[in-house]
């Protein structure tokens, strides 16, 4: 039986190549749409990093793409490995600064938005302030 290469796989004549078990997703990196194929477990770990860092997949992919050279898939695998290796313990998680500004720009925007909402809330509550609560000294003389 003759063999031939197809999509990087060696298959026997007459056999169809197997579908890839690596899901491909479209993402935006630095304003450009690209496709990336990763193992399901890698996608799960990437989602966990996004949950911990309060960011999106695009945030992480853009960050990783800007830090190295090579295929984005390989850079992501190494980044994810380093992220979890560093944060394998609670002390390592704190020391690495995970959850404390790895994606500072996005977090800063969220904090500013929360602060402006809190200021608006305080202003509204201050205008509804009951003047009887502001009295100081002893109560009414009787």
User: Residue 23: is its pLDDT beyond 70?
Assistant: yes
Q: What percent of the chain has pLDDT over 90?
A: 35
- Both tokens of 120, joined, read 């608006």
Q: What pLDDT does residue 62 have?
A: 93
- Both tokens of 113, joined, read 């938005």
Domains of the chain: 19-118 (1.10.3990)
Q: What pLDDT does residue 1 have?
A: 44
User: Residue 76: is its pLDDT beyond 90?
Assistant: yes
3-class secondary structure, 98: coil
Which residues neighbour 37 within 8 Å (Cβ) at sequence distance 6 or greater? Answer: 20, 22, 23, 24, 73
Dihedral (CA of 63, 66, 105, 61) sign: negative
Task: Give the whole-angstrom CA distance, residue 83 versus residue 56.
Answer: 16
CB 73 within 8 A of CB 35: no
Q: What pLDDT does residue 63 have?
A: 94
Q: What pLDDT does residue 60 have?
A: 94
| pLDDT 10s digits, 82-128 | 998 887 877 776 776 666 656 666 667 777 878 888 887 777 776 65
- pTM of the complete model: 0.52
| pLDDT 10s digits, 53-73 | 999 999 999 999 999 889 999
């Amino acid at each position: 039986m003759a063999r031939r290469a197809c999509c990087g796989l060696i298959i026997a004549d007459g056999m169809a190549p197997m579908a890839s078990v690596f899901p491909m997703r479209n993402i935006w990196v630095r304003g450009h749409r690209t496709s990336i194929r990763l193992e399901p477990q890698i996608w799960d770990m990437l989602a966990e990093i996004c949950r911990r860092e309060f960011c999106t997949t695009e945030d992480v992919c853009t960050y990783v793409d800007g830090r190295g050279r090579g295929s984005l898939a390989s850079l992501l695998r190494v980044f994810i490995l380093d992220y979890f290796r560093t944060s394998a313990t609670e002390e390592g998680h704190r020391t690495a600064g995970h959850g404390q500004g790895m994606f500072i720009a996005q977090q800063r925007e969220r904090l500013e938005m929360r602060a402006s909402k809190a200021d608006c809330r305080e202003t509204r509550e201050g205008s509804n302030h009951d003047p009887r609560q502001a009295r100081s000294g002893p109560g009414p003389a009787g």
